[in-house]
């Protein structure tokens, strides 16, 4: 971890500026949960995006959605498996929103919307239409990644995930900020976050803390 001894303590929650596009594309991790292979998948990969295709909630990579490995999910509604309930996509959406607030989820569907699926589109963070062009799809994906891949977003998601009090939020922010500028090492920041989380979602906590500090270092180097 780089150290900036000439800097006063930087609050990780204040680092809201988007990363350079090259870093967004390089660091962003995307999953598509769809029972069919999207036609645009190879085109998106050809533009440098890192995308994994999951055909159902039984896929081995599904746990990575829970543990914050992925930053963005394109979520189909039907055919992805009823493991979480009969409403499939809606039930998966509700589950992931509850266990991993850091994951940005976009409805991935056809242009024609069924009124019965209103809650699905309301709860999703946006929509990517399956028949949209590659340029429109890239713009949507990069826009959402630019918002997610900031230290401030990751810190806020972490605080929400572990349910902190105002005092604990200050403690958490202090630990991550000190790790960012070299006041303590990353492992101590992770340990502090886990103590506040009281054993819940330890892998999620570790992943988000690590991501927040790494993004903070890039942000300071890019915008400092």
Predicted confidence (pLDDT) per residue in 12-31, tens digit: 999 999 999 999 999 999 99
Give the percent of the chain with pLDDT over 70.
94
- Is residue 103 within 8 Å of residue 72, measured between CB atoms? yes
Q: What pLDDT sits at residue 200?
A: 80
Whether the per-residue pLDDT at 92 is higher than 70: the answer is yes
The stretches of 100-197 forming alpha helices (DSSP H) are 118-123, 134-148, 151-162, 166-181, 186-197
What's the rounded mean pLDDT across residues 163-182? 94
What's the rounded mean pLDDT across residues 144-163? 96
Which CATH code of 3.30.9.100, 3.40.50.2300, 3.40.630.10, 2.60.40.1250 fits the domain covering 21-148?
3.40.50.2300
Among the listed residues 59, 148, 61, 141, the one whose alpha carbon sits nearest the alpha carbon of residue 103: 148
Among the listed residues 60, 12, 15, 3, the one whose alpha carbon sits nearest the alpha carbon of residue 33: 60
What distance lies between CA 135 and its chain's CA centroid?
Answer: 22
pTM of the model: 0.93
What's the rounded mean pLDDT across residues 146-166? 96
Q: How many residues does the chain have?
A: 224
Provide the pLDDT confidence category of residue 4 given band limits of 50, 70 and 90.
very low
- What tokens were used for 40? 């645009």
3-state secondary structure 12-23: HHHCCCCCCHHH
Residues forming beta bridges with residue 108, ordered by sequence position: 128
- Is residue 67 within 8 Å of residue 207, measured between CB atoms? yes
Q: What tens digit of pLDDT does each residue of 39-85 get?
A: 999 999 999 999 999 999 999 999 999 999 999 999 999 889 888 88
């Amino acid at each position: 971890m780089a150290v900036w001894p000439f800097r006063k303590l930087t609050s990780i929650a204040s680092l809201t500026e988007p990363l350079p596009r090259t870093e967004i594309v390089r660091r962003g991790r995307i999953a598509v949960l769809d029972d069919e292979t999207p036609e645009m998948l190879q085109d998106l990969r050809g533009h440098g995006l890192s995308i994994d295709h999951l055909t159902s909630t039984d896929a081995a990579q599904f746990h990575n959605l829970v543990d914050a490995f992925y930053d963005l999910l394109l979520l189909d509604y039907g055919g992805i498996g009823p493991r979480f309930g009969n409403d499939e996509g809606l039930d998966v959406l509700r589950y992931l929103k509850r266990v991993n607030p850091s994951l940005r989820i976009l409805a991935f569907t056809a242009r024609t919307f069924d009124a019965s699926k209103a809650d699905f589109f309301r709860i999703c963070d946006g929509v990517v239409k399956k028949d949209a062009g590659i340029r429109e799809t890239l713009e949507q994906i990069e826009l959402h990644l630019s918002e997610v891949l900031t230290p401030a977003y990751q810190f806020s998601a972490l605080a929400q995930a572990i349910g902190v009090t105002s005092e604990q939020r200050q403690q958490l922010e202090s630990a991550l900020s000190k790790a960012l500028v070299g006041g303590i090492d990353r492992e101590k920041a992770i340990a502090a976050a886990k103590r506040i989380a009281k054993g819940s979602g330890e892998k999620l906590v570790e992943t988000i803390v690590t991501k927040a500090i790494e993004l903070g270092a890039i942000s300071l180097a890019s915008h400092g």
